[in-house]
């Protein structure tokens, strides 16, 4: 059992090495093979994000958007980066309104994100007002209690 896990992870690390070397076709193929069998949500998130980066570098915007969307749908360490990747790839694909919607969705989901200013600047460059959503506590009718478990 452990050798199978190590074998699957080897594909992930091999893909990372290919990506670092700029060998995009082999990075893509290794990531696709890894994702076919991987069930761990953390490694899936990382692999999907790396696959999206690979597609971006290959200038395959449609596939980059798809991989970023999959990574953004899974909770994990790359979720917010993947959400921003969706918007960035949509811009490159020429889908201005889709990018605006993705950036606004990011602001709504992460009103206090570190990337907030960058997102607002990206919206401005796209010619869209940020339409900043209210913080979650204001949207829910006032301050919410903090629950400590």
Q: What is the pLDDT of residue 3?
A: 59
CATH number at residue 39: 1.25.40.10
Q: Is 31 among the domain residues?
A: yes
pLDDT, tens only, 83-127: 999 999 999 999 999 999 999 999 999 999 999 999 999 999 999
Task: Indicate whether this model's pTM tops 0.95.
Answer: no
* Boundaries of domain holding 104: 2-131
Q: Is 145 among the domain residues?
A: no
Q: Tally Cβ neighbours within 10 Å of residue 32.
A: 15
Q: Is 137 among the domain residues?
A: no
What is the C-alpha to C-alpha distance for residues 6 and 41, in angstroms, rounded to an integer?
Answer: 16
What is the C-alpha to C-alpha distance for residues 149 and 144, in angstroms, rounded to an integer?
Answer: 16
């Amino acid at each position: 059992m452990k050798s199978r896990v190590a074998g699957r992870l080897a594909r992930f690390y091999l893909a990372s090495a290919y990506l670092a070397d700029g060998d995009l076709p082999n990075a893509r193929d290794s990531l696709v093979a890894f994702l076919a069998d991987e069930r761990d949500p953390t490694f899936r998130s990382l692999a999907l994000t790396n696959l999206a980066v690979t597609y971006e570098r290959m200038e395959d915007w449609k596939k980059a958007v798809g991989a970023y969307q999959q990574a953004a749908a899974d909770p994990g360490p790359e979720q917010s980066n993947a959400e921003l990747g969706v918007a960035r790839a949509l811009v490159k694909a020429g889908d201005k309104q889709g990018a605006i919607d993705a950036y606004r969705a990011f602001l709504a989901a992460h009103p206090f994100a570190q990337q907030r200013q960058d997102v607002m600047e990206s919206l401005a460059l796209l010619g869209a007002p940020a339409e900043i959503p209210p913080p979650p506590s204001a949207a829910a009718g006032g301050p919410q209690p903090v629950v400590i478990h």
